[in-house]
Amino acid sequence: MTDRGRWLLLCGAVAAAQMVLVSVVDGATRPGYDPVRNWVSQLALGPRGWLGAVNLALCGFWLILFAVGLHLHLPGPAVAVRLVALCGLGFGMIAAVPIDPGLDFPPGEPAVHTAVGLLHQAGAIAVFAGGTMASAVLGRRVGLARAGVAVAVLMIVSFVAAAVLVTLDVNGVLGGTPSGLLERVALYAGLGWIGTAGLIVHRGR
């Protein structure tokens, strides 16, 4: 492994640490925001929404830099590089295209369903599809295939459950569901594993 751009392999861990720290602190201190019910991207709404949007955009930026690092230092097929880049681009998209208000956030704003919100959902699917597949592929590439598959399965189960529960919540079938918590499980697990794989490659394992 050459030293050229080797620091880029640390960017996956930076993306994970930043996302967890900022979203947890911002969510805990935002009036009317319930981290158990509300989704991370909803932090891009409201008076302090700029912070949530910047958090999403920066996470995508770090992941794209990490993809460049993988391209330079991870021999073999470029599937992992493309999947991480897809995840990073997805974060950029959901930062640029805000989610629709809903689940009683921001406080006082009615829930709406717009074309912009649908574009945001498409970006979110790119984030989770890219992140899930990247977790499995990176696990195999760093010699920890079972761990990578376990993370991918956890992400799929958590995200699907979150999607079902938020649909029930939005349609008034079952209010106050923990869809935001399940989304965080999928998001944090995926980013954490991607960052860990980057650290393993950085160490030259």
How far, in whole angstroms, is CA 125 from its chain's centroid?
10
Give the DSSP per-residue string, 40-107. Answer: GGGGGSSTTHHHHHHHHHHHHHHHHHHHHHHHHH--S-SHHHHHHHHHHHHHHHHHHSPPPPBTTBST
Average pLDDT of adjacent 10-residue blocks, the chain of 205 residues = 81 98 97 97 96 98 97 90 97 96 94 94 95 96 96 97 96 94 98 97 81
- For residue 1, the model assigns a pLDDT of 46
Separation between Cα atoms, residue 156 and residue 176, nearest integer Å: 22
On whether the pTM is more than 0.85, the answer is yes
- For residue 75, the model assigns a pLDDT of 86
CB 101 within 8 A of CB 49: no
- For residue 2, the model assigns a pLDDT of 54
User: CB-based contacts of 167: which residues, under 8 Å, 6+ apart?
Assistant: none
CB 1 within 8 A of CB 71: no
